[in-house]
Amino acid sequence: AEPFVIGSKSFTAVAINTAAKAGQWIKSKVGDISRIDTKFSSQDLVTEVDKGSEKLIRNLIMTHFPDHSILGEEGVEPGPEASAKALQAMSEEEYLWIVDPIDGTTNFVHGFPFFSVSIALAHKGEIIVGVVYDPSRDELFVAEKGKGAYMHGKKTIVSLDGQLSSSLVATGLPADRNGALPINLKGIQALSPKVRNLRIAGSAALHLAYVASGRLSGFWEIGLNAWDIAAGALLIQESGGKVTDTEGRPYNLAVRNILATNGQIHDELRQELVKAEATGF
Ligand code: IPD
Ligand code: CA
Ligand code: CA
Ligand code: CA
């Protein structure tokens, strides 16, 4: 039997349709937010649009696949412990959708057009579908396990850069100012002089999609969650790149410290993080 299809509705079609609908709605809400709340820290923002997007996504997925489970950022208590627990409780589910309803909330709030919707589907812990949608550019990145990754019908492929010195690399400034941020700052300090340049554009999922499509040669960040990474990780794997944690261990859903590259610069980038003692906490 075709593993990605139930009846006539493929998992991928639902993921694409859902991400596109949520993304278009989010875009229509830029500049039209009535309140901004904070979550785990004063830099950790959430709006009614994050919650509304997650609701829309849940409803669409449930309509098609009522037996499936959904792990969404806004359905989980804020903070690293609660997030890890929620994932652990669900990671063995037969079918688990992993959803970031807006990745890049800070950008969304400021109207800085670099945010995305990230939707992944895991089958018994293995990611089989990953979709990242950027509504500002109407760019949709789609991957299916074993079948490649595409942006609007064109196969995505990682960059060929073999050295840090010719690589454009991205990272993030985590909202967790006490734990993850200081570690990531050490990495930034170490990598800045080594790479062609560094970008910190504020959506982990979109950065990962850019590694998949060759616009970036690498990305790392400390202290992310499954919903930031899951879809983007499959995009990169299916585009010929490499995804591990910052210690070099193979990616799985529980990984929070991510290192994702075109493969070529993976070890060199990791060595710099190791030297800077910036691989985790
Ligand atoms: C955040 C973004 C940001 C990254 C943060 C994430 P959110 O996700 O991906 O780029 O630096 O660590 O938490 O909260 O906007 O979905
Ligand atoms: Ca958030
Ligand atoms: Ca996120
Ligand atoms: Ca989010």
| Residue 176 CB–ligand 1 contact under 6 Å | no
Query: How far apart are the CA of 66 and the centre of ligand 1, in A?
Result: 29
pLDDT band of 1, cuts 50, 70, 90: very low
| Residue 203 CB–ligand 1 contact under 6 Å | yes
| Residue 263 CB–ligand 1 contact under 6 Å | no
Tens-place pLDDT, residues 117-153:
999 999 999 999 999 999 999 999 999 999 999 999 8
Q: How many angstroms separate the CA atoms of 38 and 111, rounded?
A: 18
**Ion ligand 3 residues within 5 Å by Cβ:** 100, 103, 228
Give the type of residue at 156: T
Neighbours of 155 (CB within 10 A): 12
> What pTM was estimated for this model as a whole?
0.96
User: Counting atoms of ligand 1 from 1, which one is nearest the CA of 225?
Assistant: 13
Domain coordinates of the chain in residue numbers? 5-155, 164-275
Neighbours of 207 (CB within 10 A): 32
Tens-place pLDDT, residues 42-100:
888 999 999 999 999 999 999 999 999 999 999 999 888 899 999 999 988 999 999 99
Among 39, 178, 224, the mutation site with the greatest number of ligand 1 atoms within 8 A of its Cβ is 224
As to burial, measured by CB atoms within 10 angstroms (0-12 exposed, 13-18 middle, 19+ buried), residue 42 is: exposed
Among 37, 42, 74, 103, the mutation site with the greatest number of ligand 1 atoms within 8 A of its Cβ is 103
User: Counting atoms of ligand 1 from 1, which one is nearest the CA of 44?
Assistant: 14
| Residue 54 CB–ligand 1 contact under 6 Å | no
Tens-place pLDDT, residues 165-204:
999 999 999 877 778 899 999 999 999 999 999 999 999 9
User: Counting atoms of ligand 1 from 1, which one is nearest the CA of 107?
Assistant: 15
* Average pLDDT over the chain, rounded to an integer: 94
Give the type of residue at 197: N
pLDDT band of 108, cuts 50, 70, 90: very high
> What percent of the chain lies above the pLDDT cut of 70?
97
Q: Considering the domain 164-275 in this protein, what is its CATH number?
A: 3.40.190.80
Beta strand extents in 50-166 (DSSP E only): 69-72, 95-103, 116-123, 126-134, 139-144, 148-151, 154-155
Torsional class of 259: left (φ above 0), alpha (ψ -120 to 50), beta (otherwise): beta
**Ion ligand 4 residues within 5 Å by Cβ:** 73, 100, 102
User: Counting atoms of ligand 1 from 1, which one is nearest the CA of 176?
Assistant: 12
ipTM > 0.85, yes or no: yes
Nearest ligand to the C-alpha of residue 204? 1
Write out the CATH class of domain 5-155: alpha beta
